[in-house]
């Protein structure tokens, strides 16, 4: 027994075809939206690609771009089929390939769901990519004269200003690396010698942060050097006083920004998936309502449209039986080839 049977006359079939045709072209716009979101996300990632540890972060936008392009093609084809369904002579050429097309559409809808889920779960590996990328980027902050790295200082400063953050996890990350180039250090000065000699790596470490960490909203002039030395500043206690540098780490700030983008894209892709499922169901009803005409030569005769030719359980049983038959057929062919090889 068919599932979700609906009776149609000519007027209802025409209205159905026109509605699904309109939905398909709306779905084309949805495909363009997915494509645009993928391009936007890719551009946003490229802006700060040097702060990310690998190129795997571009996997998701590439998938979105591909899915958007495929959606545009599928929906344009589906719209054409619905338009031609109003003319029996034109619809006849599409009829043999419709079942294959509908199966392809169902597979594509499943991939859309997977893409939406990726948008939500990719946040987890993305935070590790950011953490390692920021850690390496901060090490190169001082290399303003090194080809290939001279841009890193500008990139990090602009990022910290834009996202109101400081360091990787927090501002203290700058205390653990040398972020001032040797070019600007006076190695004859006692302070410089003492700081370099105080650690095994021979780096000039200090309890200070770059100017881009300063919070311009603070009423006090920015204290970015000797931040842990209370005696170096008047009426200052770094344990109790609110620092006038950004406390938030840049990894958390960037993860919040990109995570928000991914969550928004994921929600929109789910909405697009619902639209794709709707047009797939609509095309199935268009196909079955034309296939079950009481009198195929009379387009005004009544017909029945249905979602599935059998119940869900029977359909699932048939699919499993076909898969088992295909598996047995493959084994028989392998056995035949082995027999021929043995005889040879």
DSSP string covering 68-135: HHHHHHHHHHHHHHHHHTTSHHHHTTTGGGHHHHHHHHHHHHHHHHHHHHHHHHTHHHHHHHHHHHHH
DSSP per position, 216-269? TT-SSPP--SSTT-GGGSTT--TTTSPPSB--S-HHHHHHHHHHHHHHHHHHHH
pTM of the model: 0.83
How high is the pLDDT of residue 217?
Answer: 87
Residue 293 lies in a domain: yes
Helix or strand run (H / E) with residue 303 = strand 303-305
Residue 33 lies in a domain: yes
Q: What is the DSSP letter of 172?
A: G
Residue 85 lies in a domain: yes
- In DSSP terms, 308 is beta-bridged to 3
Residue 18 lies in a domain: yes
| Domains identified in the chain, total number | 1
Residue 183 lies in a domain: no
Q: What is the pLDDT along the chain (344 residues), one digit of tens a residue?
A: 566 677 877 788 889 889 999 999 999 999 999 999 999 999 999 888 888 866 677 889 999 999 999 999 999 999 999 888 888 778 888 888 888 898 899 999 999 999 999 999 998 888 888 888 899 899 999 887 777 777 889 999 999 999 999 999 999 999 999 999 888 888 888 888 888 888 767 888 888 999 999 988 888 888 888 888 888 888 877 776 567 889 899 999 999 999 999 999 999 999 999 999 999 999 888 888 877 776 666 667 777 777 766 666 666 676 667 667 766 665 666 666 655 555 55
How high is the pLDDT of residue 183?
Answer: 86
How far is residue 156's CA from residue 291's CA, in Å, rounded to a whole number?
64
For residue 84, which of 286, 237, 245, 270 has the smallest C-alpha distance? 286
On whether the CB atoms of residues 213 and 171 are closer than 8 A, the answer is yes
**Containing structural domain, residue 23:** 3-127+252-310
- Residue 265: Cβ-neighbour burial (10 angstroms; 0-12, 13-18, 19+): buried
Residue 158 lies in a domain: no
- CB neighbours of 219 closer than 8 A, spacing ≥ 6? none
How high is the pLDDT of residue 134?
Answer: 92
How high is the pLDDT of residue 292?
Answer: 73
Residue 202 lies in a domain: no
Residue 341 lies in a domain: no
Q: Kindly compute the dihedral angle of the four CA atoms of residues 174, 215, 156, 190, in this order, to the nearest 10 degrees.
A: -40
The beta-carbon contacts of 122-125 under 8 Å, at least 24 apart in sequence, are: 122/59, 122/60, 122/262, 123/255, 123/258, 123/259, 123/262, 123/263, 125/56
């Amino acid at each position: 027994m068919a599932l979700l049977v609906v009776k149609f006359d000519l007027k209802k079939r025409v209205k159905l075809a026109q509605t699904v045709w309109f939905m398909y072209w709306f779905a084309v716009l949805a495909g363009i939206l997915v494509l645009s979101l993928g391009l936007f996300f890719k551009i946003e990632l490229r802006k700060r690609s040097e702060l990310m540890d690998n190129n795997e972060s571009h996997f998701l936008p590439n998938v979105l771009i591909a899915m958007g392009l495929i959606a545009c093609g599928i929906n344009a084809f589906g719209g054409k089929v619905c338009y031609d369904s109003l003319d029996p002579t034109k619809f006849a050429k599409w009829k043999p390939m419709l079942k294959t097309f509908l199966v392809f559409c169902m597979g594509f809808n499943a991939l859309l769901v997977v893409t939406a889920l990726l948008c939500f779960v990719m946040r987890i590996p993305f935070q590790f990519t950011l953490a390692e990328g920021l850690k390496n980027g901060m090490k190169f902050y001082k290399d303003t004269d090194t080809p290939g790295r001279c841009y890193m200082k500008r990139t990090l400063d602009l990022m910290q200003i834009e996202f109101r953050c400081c360091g990787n996890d927090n501002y203290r990350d700058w205390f653990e690396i040398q972020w001032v180039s040797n070019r600007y250090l006076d190695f004859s000065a006692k302070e410089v010698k003492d700081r370099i000699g105080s650690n095994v790596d021979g780096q000039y470490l200090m309890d200070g942060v770059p100017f881009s960490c300063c919070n311009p909203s603070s009423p006090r002039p920015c204290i970015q050097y000797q931040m842990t030395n209370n005696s170096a500043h008047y009426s200052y206690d770094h344990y109790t006083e609110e620092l006038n540098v950004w406390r938030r780490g840049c990894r958390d700030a960037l993860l919040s920004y990109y995570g928000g983008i991914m969550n928004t894209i994921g929600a929109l892709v789910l909405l697009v998936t619902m639209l794709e499922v709707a047009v797939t169901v609509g095309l199935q009803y268009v196909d079955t309502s034309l296939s079950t005409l009481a009198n195929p030569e009379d387009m005004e005769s009544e017909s029945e449209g249905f979602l599935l030719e059998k119940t869900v359980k029977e359909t699932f049983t048939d699919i499993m039986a076909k898969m088992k038959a295909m598996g047995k057929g493959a084994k028989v062919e392998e056995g035949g080839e082995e027999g021929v090889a043995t005889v040879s």
